[in-house]
Amino acid sequence: MADNARAKRLADLIREVVAQKLLRGIKDPRLGSHVTITDTRVTGDLREATVFYTVYGDDEERKAAAAGLESAKGVLRSAVGAAAGVKFTPTLTFVADALPDTARTIDDLLDKARQSDEKVREVSAGAAYAGEADPYRKPGSEDETDGDTAE
């Protein structure tokens, strides 16, 4: 079992090597400049690496990029092995990152909340309070009863 610092360093190296290889070394048209490597995680035994990626484009381009990454997996693993110099090169698994979709969902929810707040603000623009301006009793006012004071 490797320590966490070593796994983190290997994950960072894998992310950099895969990104550089996708940018300059692989001529697959499905893996153009619209594929971005966002994160990499390595298991504690340094045997498996999960590479998270995003694709700029529609669903068809995402599917094509996933197929391109799957076909280039061997070349990318060889490049990682040459750069890492470890005894066993981790197997690479490519997973589409859900972060952009989650961020889009959060933005949509925030927009709905802003619209709801604006509607409430418009409705309450001409409204007045239900009671008096100052609802608290003051000492010496005529609302006080004489039986409440202790002498």
* Structure confidence at residue 22 (pLDDT): 86
* Structure confidence at residue 141 (pLDDT): 67
pTM comes to 0.68
What are the pLDDT digits (tens) for 51-94?
Answer: 999 888 788 888 888 888 898 888 999 999 999 888 898 999 99
Cα(43)–Cα(90) distance, rounded to whole angstroms? 9
Q: Is the pLDDT of residue 143 over 60?
A: no
The answer to whether 18 and 76 have CB atoms below 8 angstroms apart is yes
Long-range contacts of 7-12 (CB under 8 A, 24+ apart): 7/42, 7/43, 7/44, 7/46, 8/42, 10/42, 10/46, 10/49, 10/84, 10/86, 10/90, 11/40, 11/41, 11/42, 11/49, 12/40
CATH superfamily, region 1-98: K homology (KH) domain (3.30.300.20)
Cα(42)–Cα(49) distance, rounded to whole angstroms? 4
* Structure confidence at residue 111 (pLDDT): 93
Q: Which band of pLDDT confidence, cut at 50, 70 and 90, is reported for residue 123?
A: confident
- Spatial neighbors of 16 by CB under 8 A, at least 6 apart, are none
* Structure confidence at residue 31 (pLDDT): 78
CB count within 10 Å of CB 100 equals: 14
The answer to whether 56 and 14 have CB atoms below 8 angstroms apart is no
Q: Is the pLDDT of residue 144 over 70?
A: no
What are the pLDDT digits (tens) for 14-39?
Answer: 999 998 888 887 887 777 768 888 89
Is residue 37 classed as helix, strand or coil in its secondary structure?
strand
* Structure confidence at residue 146 (pLDDT): 54
Instruction: Tell me what percent of the residues of the chain surpass a pLDDT of 90.
Output: 28
Percent helix, strand and coil across the chain, each to the nearest 5: 50, 15, 35
Q: Which band of pLDDT confidence, cut at 50, 70 and 90, is reported for residue 150?
A: low
- Here the tokens at position 128 are 């007045």
- Here the tokens at position 130 are 């239900």
Q: Is the pLDDT of residue 109 over 80?
A: yes
> Domain ranges in the chain?
1-98
Mean pLDDT of the residues in the chain: 84
